Amino acid sequence: MSPDPIPDQPAVPTPLDHTPPEAGPATGIKLLAEAAGTFLLVFGSIGAALFAADFGTSDAGTSLGIGFVGVALAFGLTIVAAAYTWGPISGGHFNPAVTLGLAAAGRFPWRDAPGYIVAQIVGGAVGTSLLVLIGMFGPDGWLTQRQDAGFASNGFGAQSPGGFGLGAAITAEIVFTGIFVLVILGVTHATRGTPFAGLVIGLTLTLIHLASIPIDNTSVNPARSIATAIYGGGDALVQLWVFLVFPIVGALIAGFAHKALFDSRNAA
């Protein structure tokens, strides 16, 4: 009588198994995810700023708008939603400054940065374009009034919500963007990160907006600034350079600093 056959056993990889890992999402899908996430961020948060921030007052004199706090929450909530929806596909940057900060930290290939940045700018521009489309069917004069007021664009001096000057805008954009990138690098670290990274990042963005909306309407994201400036009129376009250059400066400083201080051999 022959012995019972040994049942089939699942293949167990060995340390010498060099089978290539399953390929990740294609580059085009990653770019689409970046565009989609940036679209959601801009459409949701700038929509909240334009439609709901100042909705007049009730007969009792109570404000009916969501104000700065509501707009800050809108930025945080949209980034949480985008991070958990499309983050697993593309990494969830949704911000040119974040992309460049991650590259400076050695977390993202420099060669892939231009494609991500273009996708983010396109996604943001689609977001504000759809807001304009909605506004075209709004009350008489609504769209013109919002565009004359800057269309929630970033600005300093006369364009600052609190009247803050150029120096304040430069400092705020460098420091707050640097903080934002440092938080992202910390909570997404391969060994020290957290599964709640998307929530932490969204809450951090909310905090940044709570602190800095009165200074310059808070950029920390060049794609968001471009998206609003293209409909915000001449003043917004003239001042746009500040919100392209200095968020990137802050992100690069944070990326290089994090790599040197927290991802070095001594920090491992």
Tell me, what CATH number does 160's domain have?
1.20.1080.10
- 234 within domain boundaries: yes
pTM: 0.88
User: Cβ(235)–Cβ(150) under 8 Å?
Assistant: yes
- 267 within domain boundaries: no
Listed as ranges, residues in the chain with pLDDT below 70 are: 1-23, 56-63, 264-268
Tell me the pLDDT tens digit for each residue of 49-82.
Answer: 999 988 766 556 566 789 999 999 999 999 999 9
Domain membership of residue 79 as a residue range: 28-53+63-262
- 45 within domain boundaries: yes
Tell me the pLDDT tens digit for each residue of 199-234.
Answer: 999 999 999 999 999 999 999 999 999 999 999 999
Q: Residue 73: how many CA atoms within 13 Å on its side-chain side?
A: 7
Q: What are the residues whose beta carbons fall under 8 Å from the beta carbon of 235, sequence distance 6 or more? A: 150, 155, 158, 159
Q: How many domains does the chain have?
A: 1
